[in-house]
Every structure is written in structure tokens, then in C-alpha cells.
Amino acid sequence: MFSAVFFFLALNVPLLVLLALRYLPPDYLERYLNYLVSLSFPFLPLLSLPVASASVVEERESGALQYVLSGPVSKADFLVGRAVGLLAATTAVVILGYGLAALGVFNVSSSKYLLVGEIAAIGIALNAAMVGLALVISIMSRRKATALGVAVFLWFFFTVLSDLGQLSLAVNLSAGPSAVLPLVITNPVEISRVLAVLVIGGGAEQLGPPGLILTDLLGNSAAYYMLISLASWIMASYAICYIVFSRQDVV
Amino acid sequence: MLLIGRLLMRGFWALAFSWERFNIPALEDSTQETLMARQGLKTGWRAFGCLLSVSHLTKNFGKFTALNEVSFEVNDGDVLLLLGPNGAGKTTAIRCILGLLNFRGQIKLDSLDARGDGVLLREKIGYVPQQSSYYENIRILDQGRLMARFKKASFGELKSKLEMVGLWSVNNRQVKSLSSGMKQRLGIALALLNDPPLLIFDEPTSNVDLSGQLEFQGLLQRFSGEGKTMLITTHLTGLDRYVDEVVVLDSGKIVAKGSPQQLLARLGATDTVFIRLELAEIPEALSLLNQNGFGAVTTKEDWLLFSVSTAEKAKLLGILSAHSLVVKDIVIQPRDIESEYLRLSGNAEN
């Protein structure tokens, strides 16, 4: 279902019509990818957060976790297996959605595929961070309903509340533009969006107020900062998963 | 698509579990060489003495102390029964042994420490949980394959274990469609994979009907005869025959420990004997028995009812035959550790 949603988001039927009529400008792909990033990145966590946040706690509730770990399986083995499985499944869904559309529809040269690949990689990295974060939620929750509730709230926080906060700060600059930086780096969805726009080479309209302030503050190194922030999110979330899971009681 | 995603997830999950186990024999019938290697490994498992040692085991859940300085040992080839009311700490003790809970104290299985060598230690344990804890939406065979992979057991072995418990013929059925008894049998089959030196049964008969309980008793008898080391928590009566040692837990503490005979002797437990005589001979028999110190004798029609120790049973019959009293029928209801324990702890309602 998610693959289909991502496929149709990437496919963009009006674009097909414009392509067929040869009405598109030469840089149509960059423009299109900018729109695609703004449109689809906020929805990526909506796939990984609920699926991954339910995973461990669901097995804990059913007793399957206890049964599996009563065998010769270490907690690290279990966690790696869980994370790899979730990453593979959710990444496959994303790649199926975007990849099929890209292969079939984006009428681009091979050099442009690199750009599509970079955007897909950022999407996959965002997905990895979200899976890690959702696993932390799943490991720390005692009930599946609680885990799902926290996961959905987190998605709402990252996509709506955080955005509103950034906008408020951007409009009311009494706190200074530097206040936007921590707001962005504490939100992996925003990090990925800004990073993707920077990679595509999007303009002010696509960067938005937070992106503009960041490029103003950090200059050309803004993309590296975003990349490091996203990598930190991924590493930190999986490290927390391991530390908490290895120390807690299984039941 | 989501279904495909879930399937992929399961596949990769199983794959990832094997990432550091490249030396696992494939899930086909083992070669003779592999079998010999495993036999060697198993030979190394035999401890000749204490197999499982639990010392000063303490577990707190917040301010609640579930286990308090619990110590016991299970010798190689012995069957130990952990007895106690609900909430006594039996399952908690087992979960500590399996490394599922953090604890204070020390647990060792054949020199392996539960904290440091958890995975190696669990390789040597076959665990049958209290409740069905399997992946419900997969087939019996898939559940079996998963556990076989974890335990490095061959497909041939999995097949033979499932055949042993009568589940091979239905191996394509989903786990969720099985009855409680069948799930228990599945648990036993999977616990036996790779022939672990220690079997742990957590309340194995709590969720099964009478036929399931009898079936379990039969399996227990078989395992006991094969010299398997077992740790069992149960409320099932009549296990004395297979048990070498009993540990009675109450409120997280050991209240009694020893062989069933030792415990029964310590509790002053007696067998109940029913003797049927000619109705006319009942007064004479009563008088004789009273003279010989059998005080607490009751009668019901032509039946005499006594509570006597094992040693006194023969003496009782000797007295009756010496006075030419013909015993028409005799029924002995043996003492059992569970009912004596319940009497002792005042938890008869359990």
C-alpha cells in the first residue's frame, strides 16, 4: 500500500502529460524532485514509525520475545535481526515506490539518475533514523498501544509542530536566526528535507525559512552539517536501542 | 505491498539471525561427521555431578522482592521440582536462569555463567514455556525451522522430534490453529532439539486438559527413564515417582528443600490405607489395632481407614493375619509431596 502511495506520488500523472506534450523545461527534473521531496519526505516516517514501534513490544506482549530469547540467541543478535528486517522491508517499500516510477517515467539521462539516487539515499537514511527511533520507542514501551501512540505523536511533532515552531522563530527573530539551527538538527525530517533541497540545488522557495537561515549561517558547509546531523541521529538511535535493550528485563 | 514488506522483514530477520553463524550445518539430514562432532560436544556437556547451580539468587521488581537469596542445585540426571503457590517466584527463578531477567547472585550451568555466557548456557537448555509464546501466524514447520536454526539442529532432527510428539503429519498447519495440548507438544519437541542436557518445564500442564496432563506424565516418565536432567515447576500431583529433589518456594524464599522422601518424613506425612474386612470382624480388628498403637482408625461399613507411615503398613497387615482376620480388599493412597506441601502452607485452595 505504501509502495503504491509512493509510486503514485513519484509518478505524478500531470507530469506524464507534460512530458508527452514536450512542454517541460530542460531542468524539469530538479524542480520536480524539489516538489517531490517537500511532498513525500514528511510521509516517509509514517511508514517506518508505526511498523517499527510495534515490532518489539508486540513480541513482548505475545510472549514470543521471551521464547526467542530463551534460546541461544543474544539480545544483540535479536536487535540486529529486527533492525535489519525492518530496514530492509521499509527501504524496499520506498525503493519500489520511487524506483519503479523513476525507471519508468523520469525521462532523464544517466547522469541525472545519480541525482535521483542521492535523493533516494537521503530518503533511505531518513527511514533508517526513523526505524531506529521507533525501535527505541518499542523497546521502552510495555504496551503496543502506547508505542503506537508515541510514534504517531512523534510523526506529528516532526512534521507539523516542529515546522510551526521553526516558522514562528523565523518570523519572530527576536531569538536570533541561530535559534533555528537547533530546531532543525533536532528534527531528522527537516534535516533530510533541507539536505535534499541543497543536493538538488533548490532555490529560496524550496529551502524555506529554516533552510535559508541555515545556508546563511553555515554557508557552503550547510549540507555537510545536515549530513553529519542525520548520521548522528541514526547512530544515536541505534546505540540507545542497544544500551536500553541489553540492560532491561525481557519480560 | 505491506504484506510483501512484512514477509521480507521476516525473511531478513531470520537471515540476520544467522549472520554470525556461518558454521551452521544446513537444514538437511546431518552427515555422520557432524553427528559425531555433536556427540563429542554432548559428551563434553555431561557434568557428572552438579549441572545447574543457583546461589543467592535475588530478584527485585522495584520495591517488591520476587526472589530472596534462593539457592539450589540440580545434579546431572536428576529431576528437580520447584513447588509453590502463585507468585512464589518459580517462573521468576526460571526466567533468571534463562537470562531473561537481571538478577543478583550467581547462576551456573556446567561452569557457564548465566551473565557472561548467556548464549552458550541457553544452548544447553531446552525450555518449554508456561504459555504458548510462538509466532502464531506461521506454520509449525516454519516455527520449527526457526528454532532449529537457533539451536543448530538439522532438519532431520527437527522432523524426528515433531514425529515423536505426533506433529509431523500436521506440520503445514498454522501455529494459531493448534490446541493447547498440541502447542505444548510443539514446545516439548522444540525444546528437545539438539538434545540439551537440561530441560526446563514451566507449569507444563497448566493450560492442558486431563489427557494432556497424562500425556505429559508419560513423556516425563520416558525422559526420566532416559536419565534426562529436568527442572519442573508444576501443580500436577503424582510426580513424586519421577522427582529426585523438591524445592518449595513461598513468597520468594525457599521454605523446604530435599528429596521427596526426606521432605515427607520431615513433614510427618503418612499414607492412607483402606482395608476391607468381614463386617462381623470389624470390632475385633479395631480392638487389636488400638492395642497395637494404631489410634486414629475410622470405619465406614466394612472398611477400615488408617493413616500410617510406610514402615507401619507391613506391621498392620501382620497383626491382622496373625489373628486370622481375612483382608478382603486393600487400597493404599500414597502420600504425595504436593498435597503435603499444600497442607503445610495452608494453601489448600491452590
pLDDT digits (tens, 9 = 90+) for A96-142: 777 676 666 555 566 677 787 888 899 899 999 999 999 999 999 99
Does B309 score more than 80 pLDDT? no
Please identify which residue in the block is written with the cell numbers 533516494. Answer: A120
- At A215-244, the pLDDT tens digits run 888 888 888 999 999 999 999 999 999 999
Does B280 score more than 80 pLDDT? yes
The fraction of chain A above a pLDDT of 90, given in percent, is: 38
- Entry pTM: 0.75
What are B53's strand-pairing partners? B73, B108
Contacts of B1 in chain A (CB under 8 A): 1-4, 93, 96
**What ipTM is given for this predicted complex?**
0.77
Does B344 score more than 70 pLDDT? no
What are B305's strand-pairing partners? B274, B298
List, in sequence order, the alpha helices (H) in A12-109.
13-20, 28-40, 44-62, 64-69, 75-104
Which positions 50-109 of A are in contact with B (Cβ < 8 Å)?
51, 62-64, 66-74, 77-78, 80-82, 84-86, 88-90, 92-93, 96
Q: Which of A83-87, B122-126, B165-169, B242-246 has the lowest mean pLDDT?
A: B242-246
Q: How many residues does chain B have?
A: 350
What are B272's strand-pairing partners? B307, B333
| Cβ B216 vs Cβ B208: under 8 Å | yes
Task: Compare all CA atoms of chain B with the CA of A247 and give the residue at the minimum distance.
Answer: B102
C-alpha cell at B270: 503418612
C-alpha cell at B173: 498447519
Inter-chain touch B17–A77, beta carbons under 8 Å: yes
Q: What is the mean pLDDT of residues B192-202?
A: 92
Does B205 score more than 60 pLDDT? yes
pLDDT confidence of residue B25: 36
- At A209-218, the pLDDT tens digits run 777 888 888 8
Contacts of A2 in chain B (CB under 8 A): 1-2, 5
- At A8-55, the pLDDT tens digits run 666 666 666 666 666 666 666 677 777 778 777 888 888 899 999 999
- How far apart CA B129 and CA B60 sit, in angstroms, is 22
Task: Quickly state the pLDDT bin for B126 (edges 50, 70, 90).
Answer: very high
Q: Which of B94-108, B239-253, B327-341 has the lowest mean pLDDT?
A: B327-341
Element (H, E) at A126: helix A110-140
The fraction of chain B above a pLDDT of 70, given in percent, is: 78
C-alpha cell at B6: 512484512
Does B348 score more than 70 pLDDT? no
